[in-house]
Structure 1
């Protein structure tokens, strides 16, 4: 099977692409490489790997690349509230418009497997799990564009969407701004963090389990198509304070305090049920504890010290 991945050099793509290649898939990645990353260097020895430097919004380019694709995985996106706020036009055109374009250009036979976000649930009801049938009430531009893109993808039927929990874990194209990754980094280097609105809850999933769920979707596509699937850890619907307590189990010198004033600009607060994806036979491999241990090893290697003498 030939797979086209947009944004395949990013955080998720840098883990997913080599896993797909190792599993025997032919993979073409189109990426703008705006972060000047070399995250796909290890893939270049595969004869079944092709890479194109380009923009996912380039209709002529995407139309040409789609000719040989059996399945499309649109990963290209501007992610995170700060980045989306800085580039609202890019957020709209990359996160939504480019995906809608793929839906128009792809044939009915071509499969689309797309990651979206469970942040589309916005603010959930206290004590009530969000399922795939729960109303979508995104409260950020990122969430709004992802919900709209998901609607376009699911309307074509020969598609699957994965509503990912907050992703964590090490990757060749690392992101330290994601909540677990960020808190572990602060615990490891700063040994302290101040939390705003620590009762806000989220669900979490390791990046290698994200790659695993794409493989699962490809292998079980006919049985799964036409639906959205929450993808997270059933035992990791945690508040920010609960997350910090978990990190402290691994880094005992970590001190965390909840600010008595101030607020978090990210107002997401919900708990999520992942029973639909589990009912298909998918099981995550990575617990939160295992991921924290991995991040500690990773941050022993990585240090954001570009302007430091240490």
Structure 2
């Protein structure tokens, strides 16, 4: 039976954040009602442009205060839990908040939902930690989370996939411009440093990871809603298959657009982030979804964007 689109309601927790502020617009354009729950921790007016849309509504609430929004959960057809303390440094600086927001509050949300409600959960391919002897990972590979954030996401995904009507998206490292910008993500960070400082010191430059543009992440969520019958009950890696590259290779790509950029290597020093893997995105691609925004496009976009912002405005710390 096909998923029939009858102006479904999508509930986004953390909908004012880096991904959510862009995803809200994509969902509204696709014809969905969107309800955002966010505590506006970073005090950004990232959703202002949607307020004139009659299909958009918002409630200011911490996701841990379930009584404030559980009535909205009951009315939603689709739930996308984006609210999180994201990234290893942010989790390390707020470990209690990270544990309660990234894990406990999500379990509370699961407990409030009915089997008929679809949940599409962003997790992370940082859960792989490192791959096999060739650093290769697919959805069947053992998980080896290193950071608190990755460990919490692994636990949440396991609980998610125990319920009916669920999809998990293991996101690659996201890059690109958003209304609520983040400069702590690797591509975003390196491009900012290249443009403003002219250099980045590299630790363990051979370490590889996968990347995905934020607009393709938003496209992937809409795609999952429209293709739920064939995708439900599965875990998918979401990344650019031609962007499984090392930090050194990333710097070379940035240098193509900012020729004065240099990236000296710090020998005999370890990167605090020990992730190193190559990720297969074949499972999602076989469903028919393909990213449309390249790494080079994102670098060019970021260079333009960084002409307008300063770093202190955009951080999770």
Aligned equivalents of 2:121 and 2:69: distance in 1? 16
Find out whether 1:176 has 2:183 as its counterpart: yes
Please name the residue that 1:195 is paired with: 202
Residues 189-211 of structure 1 deviation map (CA, whole Å, 9 limit, x = unaligned):
11111011111110000000000
Cα drift, residue 127 of structure 1: 2.1
Aligned equivalents of 1:136 and 1:100: distance in 2? 20
Residues 35-62 of structure 1 deviation map (CA, whole Å, 9 limit, x = unaligned):
0011111111110000000011112123
Alignment root-mean-square deviation, CA: 1.1
SS at match of 2:183: coil
- The match for 1:18 among 15, 21, 25 is 25
Please name the residue that 1:102 is paired with: 109
Which TM-score applies when normalising by structure 1? 0.97
Which TM-score applies when normalising by structure 2? 0.95
Please name the residue that 1:208 is paired with: 215
- The match for 2:87 among 80, 104, 113 is 80
Aligned equivalents of 1:266 and 1:157: distance in 2? 34
Please name the residue that 1:39 is paired with: 46
8 Å Cα contact 1:62/1:102 also seen in 2:
no
Cα drift, residue 301 of structure 1: 1.5
Find out whether 1:59 has 2:66 as its counterpart: yes
Residues 187-243 of structure 1 deviation map (CA, whole Å, 9 limit, x = unaligned):
111111101111111000000000000000000011100011000011111110010
Aligned equivalents of 2:114 and 2:182: distance in 1? 34
Aligned equivalents of 1:53 and 1:178: distance in 2? 26
- The match for 1:264 among 242, 267, 271 is 271
Alignment of 1:139-150 (within 5 A): 139-150=146-157
Structure 1: where are the runs of 5+ without partners?
Answer: none
SS at match of 2:46: coil
SS at match of 1:282: coil
8 Å Cα contact 1:111/1:158 also seen in 2:
yes
Cα drift, residue 67 of structure 1: 1.8
8 Å Cα contact 2:61/2:69 also seen in 1:
no
Please name the residue that 1:48 is paired with: 55
Residues 52-107 of structure 1 deviation map (CA, whole Å, 9 limit, x = unaligned):
00011112123211121001000000011111001111111111111111111100
Find out whether 1:2 has 2:2 as its counterpart: no
8 Å Cα contact 1:170/1:294 also seen in 2:
yes
8 Å Cα contact 1:166/1:203 also seen in 2:
yes
8 Å Cα contact 1:181/1:295 also seen in 2:
yes
Please name the residue that 1:166 is paired with: 173
Residues 98-153 of structure 1 deviation map (CA, whole Å, 9 limit, x = unaligned):
11111111000001001000000011123242110001110110000001111111
Please name the residue that 1:228 is paired with: 235
Aligned equivalents of 1:62 and 1:195: distance in 2? 44
Aligned equivalents of 1:280 and 1:190: distance in 2? 42
Cα drift, residue 305 of structure 1: 6.8
- The match for 1:248 among 255, 262, 272 is 255
SS at match of 1:163: strand
Find out whether 1:115 has 2:98 as its counterpart: no
Aligned equivalents of 1:99 and 1:90: distance in 2? 13
Runs (4 or more) in structure 1 with deviation over 3 Å come to none
Aligned equivalents of 2:188 and 2:213: distance in 1? 11
Aligned equivalents of 2:204 and 2:282: distance in 1? 28
Structure 2: where are the runs of 5+ without partners?
Answer: 1-7
